[in-house]
Amino acid sequence: MSRRKGAAAAGGGGAGPMEMAAMEEEAAELRRGPWTLEEDNLLMSYIACHGEGRWNLLARCSGLKRTGKSCRLRWLNYLKPDIKRGNLTAEEQLVILELHAKWGNRWSRIAQHLPGRTDNEIKNYWRTRVQKQATSTVAPVGWSWTRRRCWEASASTGWT
């Protein structure tokens, strides 16, 4: 028997029946699915008054029946005022290509070099445009597409 199970059985840890019931009830109350305009406004006004951060506390105190993670993602990817909307510019696309060749799928690190763009947006751009375009392009013999690098020599050519 593991130490954790033994401690819980001896009353030295773990959630009791009352705590378990409270956690199950709280999970059942959480709202899922698309956000409403009312929820967006509530989140924006709460952040305007109290600031960003402490997302689990924000979710409970604001009256939103959402998880802290859901609130954080909604704010960072859709509601934050300094987010750029629309298509990426040609310069931004070049920066993404250069930095991806340098760092790979480190989307947050790449996003730091594109003010107003989110890591999620950059990742989606890469996966829907660049990666699909590269796989549909006819590659030279001995070359193959991988998720880690745009194009790399396959092992059969002896290139590394």
- 113, 62: one domain: no
Which residue in this structure is represented by tokens 């924000």?
A: 58
Give the number of other Cβ atoms within 10 Å of residue 80's Cβ: 14
- 94, 147: one domain: yes
How far is it, in rounded angstroms, from Cα 34 to Cα 78?
12
- 51, 95: one domain: no
Which residue in this structure is represented by tokens 């696309």?
A: 93
Range of the domain at 61: 22-79
Residue type, 29: E
Q: Based on the structure, what is the number of domains in the chain?
A: 2
Q: What does DSSP assign to residue 35?
A: P
The enclosing domain of 43 has a CATH number of 1.10.10.60
- 60, 101: one domain: no
- Region 11-22 average pLDDT: 59
105-157 pLDDT tens trace = 999 999 999 999 999 899 999 998 887 776 665 555 555 555 444 444 444 44
Half-sphere exposure of 90 (CA within 13 A, CB side): 0
How far is it, in rounded angstroms, from Cα 75 to Cα 73?
5
Which pLDDT band, with edges at 50, 70 and 90, does 29 fall under?
Answer: confident
- Residue 17 within a domain: no
Confidence at residue 9, expressed as pLDDT on a 0 to 100 scale: 47
- 146, 98: one domain: yes
- 72, 100: one domain: no
Ranges assigned E (strand) in the chain = 143-145, 151-153
Confidence at residue 94, expressed as pLDDT on a 0 to 100 scale: 92
- Residue 9 within a domain: no
How far is it, in rounded angstroms, from Cα 138 to Cα 101?
20
47-89 pLDDT tens trace = 999 998 899 999 999 989 999 999 999 998 889 998 888 899 9
Half-sphere exposure of 141 (CA within 13 A, CB side): 0
Confidence at residue 86, expressed as pLDDT on a 0 to 100 scale: 87
Among 117, 38, 32, residue whose Cα is nearest residue 67:
32
